[in-house]
């Protein structure tokens, strides 16, 4: 199967190339795959042969609520090979041909593999990608993972899709920012001081807004591609254990943080064009619709935050992140710190690192109110460290004073604009003593009457 299918999945020859979807989400669970109901039944089971081998044929029966690339040749799907009580530990990973036979010769066969398209999703964005609700009825599939190890097997794919999500967010912001920058060079407004028309790029208020978007873009880009580099080392099996743990810690952070801040920055770009930004023909509206999915697919912000907490409780914990950050800080040249007036920003980094360390060394059980603010803190911190690393590189490689000063300024602005507030948010969340009382108060704020309400729908 690896010989025949993998070669098609990586081929650029349209005559033989396959595309693949990924089917995980079901109605009961959404992002919680432990509630997967699709059942896999082994064909011609042989009890004396032990666990089925990779490639063993199964029949799948179930309903996939959110299925990507429904026009592909194959898909990977999770299905239950163990009892429901085992949750995600009872899931295996399968290769599902959309049509039979799997390897058609000489031309594609039109026989459906027991897959019924119930409806295409009427989505907010990403209209070019067909997403559908599918029912699987006696569908032929082939085992890809060891039995009941489907989640572990698909985990590398989740890393890649989370990186893809962040790259999509950064790419969307890059385009929207380019449009906003260009608009400022041609749009004129009346300047009351000079009593004449001036370009938007010469209006300090407008340019300060664009500069803030530019700082955000650079922070998110350095964060994203810093993780891309780490993932590359991991896949080439040259990463240290500490680097592997940083990939594990920062991938969910990158996905959640970049998608959240990226969409917000794109909306700012729309505002920089005024009414023109709201027009379909100026593209930013479509960018917002398409990039907004990054906040949801492969796990919402809360799902990513909980994954970060799980990763922080691993064997190496949060320490590889702290050690890496301290190495970057300590390697920053004194001349760069003094010339760029970076002392306050460096102090903010150190305070954030101290708080992160304290949270995971003094609390046996992490408060349920910590994960989201903790993700934002780690995300902002990681982006700061990548920016500082880049500023140090620019200084050490002999770029002009203006060159490294610019990079230092980006680091300074990003770090001083929000890191300390995010640190205080985590400290505040860690000091909530009455967890049940806070939850009760939250319910009353949302629903009133102590949360005792009946749904209207």
68 pLDDT tier (thresholds 50, 70, 90): confident
**Span 148-161, average pLDDT:** 89
77 pLDDT tier (thresholds 50, 70, 90): very high
213 pLDDT tier (thresholds 50, 70, 90): very high
Count Cβ atoms below 10 Å from residue 397 Cβ, excluding itself: 9
Please give the C-alpha separations between residue 275 and each of 182, 183, 213, 286, in angstroms, as whole numbers. 16, 12, 19, 15
How far is it, in rounded angstroms, from Cα 401 to Cα 256?
Answer: 35
457 pLDDT tier (thresholds 50, 70, 90): low
* pLDDT (0 to 100) of residue 456: 63
The mean-pLDDT minimum among 2-6, 297-301, 315-319, 390-394 falls in 2-6
* pLDDT (0 to 100) of residue 25: 86
Please give the C-alpha separations between residue 61 and each of 39, 80, 207, 389, in angstroms, as whole numbers. 5, 10, 57, 51
8 pLDDT tier (thresholds 50, 70, 90): very high
Region of 77 please: left (phi>0), alpha (psi -120 to 50) or beta.
beta
Strands (E), 29-69: 39-42, 57-67
How far is it, in rounded angstroms, from Cα 359 to Cα 348?
Answer: 17
Q: What is the CATH number of domain 2-148?
A: 2.40.110.20
How far is it, in rounded angstroms, from Cα 177 to Cα 279?
Answer: 16
The residue with greater pLDDT, 89 or 170, is: 170
Q: What is the mean pLDDT of the chain?
A: 91
Q: Is the pLDDT of residue 97 over 90?
A: yes
**Span 45-65, average pLDDT:** 83
The mean-pLDDT minimum among 153-162, 225-234, 323-332 falls in 153-162
- Kind plus residue range of the DSSP H or E element containing 287: helix 284-291
**Span 148-170, average pLDDT:** 92
Could you tell me what percent of the chain has a pLDDT over 70? 94
Reported pTM = 0.90
The class of domain 155-307 in CATH terms is mainly alpha
* pLDDT (0 to 100) of residue 47: 58
* pLDDT (0 to 100) of residue 106: 55
């Amino acid at each position: 199967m690896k010989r025949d299918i993998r070669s098609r999945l990586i081929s650029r020859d349209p005559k033989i190339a396959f595309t693949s979807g990924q089917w995980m989400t079901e109605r009961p669970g959404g992002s919680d795959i432990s509630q997967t109901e699709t059942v896999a039944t082994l064909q011609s089971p042989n009890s004396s042969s032990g666990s089925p081998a990779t490639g063993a044929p199964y029949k799948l029966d179930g309903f996939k609520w959110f299925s990507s690339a429904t026009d592909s040749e194959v898909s990977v799907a999770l299905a239950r090979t163990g009892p429901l009580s085992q949750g995600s530990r009872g899931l295996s990973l399968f290769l599902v041909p959309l049509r039979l036979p799997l390897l058609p010769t000489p031309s594609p066969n039109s026989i459906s593999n027991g897959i019924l398209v119930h409806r295409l999703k009427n989505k907010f964005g990403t209209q070019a990608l067909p997403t559908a609700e599918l029912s699987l009825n006696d569908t032929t599939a082939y085992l890809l993972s060891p039995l009941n190890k489907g989640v572990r097997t698909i985990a590398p794919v989740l890393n890649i899709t989370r990186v893809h999500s962040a790259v999509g967010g950064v790419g969307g912001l890059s385009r929207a920012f380019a449009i906003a920058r260009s608009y400022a060079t041609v749009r004129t407004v009346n300047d009351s001081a000079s009593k004449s028309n001036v370009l938007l790029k010469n209006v300090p208020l407008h340019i300060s807004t664009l500069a803030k978007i530019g700082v955000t873009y650079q922070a998110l880009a350095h964060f994203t591609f810093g993780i891309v580099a780490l993932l590359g080392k991991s896949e080439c099996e040259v990463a240290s254990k500490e680097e592997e743990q940083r990939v594990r810690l920062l991938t969910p952070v990158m996905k959640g943080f970049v998608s959240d801040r990226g969409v917000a920055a794109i909306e700012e770009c729309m505002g920089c064009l005024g009414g023109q930004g709201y027009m379909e023909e100026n593209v930013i509206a479509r960018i917002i619709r398409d990039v907004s999915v990054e906040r949801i697919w492969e796990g919402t912000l809360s799902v990513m935050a909980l994954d970060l907490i799980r990763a922080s409780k691993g064997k190496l914990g949060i320490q590889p992140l702290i050690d890496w950050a301290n190495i970057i800080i300590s390697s920053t040249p004194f001349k760069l710190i003094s010339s760029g007036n970076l002392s306050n920003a460096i102090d903010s980094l150190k305070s954030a690192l101290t708080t992160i360390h304290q949270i995971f060394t003094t609390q046996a059980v992490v408060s349920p109110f910590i994960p989201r603010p903790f993700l934002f803190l780690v995300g902002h911190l990681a982006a700061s460290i990548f920016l500082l690393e880049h500023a140090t590189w620019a200084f050490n490689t002999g770029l002009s004073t203006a060159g490294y000063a610019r990079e230092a300024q980006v680091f300074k602005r990003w770090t001083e604009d929000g890191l300390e507030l995010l640190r205080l948010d985590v400290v505040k969340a860690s000091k909530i003593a009455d967890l049940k009382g806070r939850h009760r108060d939250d319910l009353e704020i949302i629903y009133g009457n102590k949360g005792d309400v009946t749904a209207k729908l």
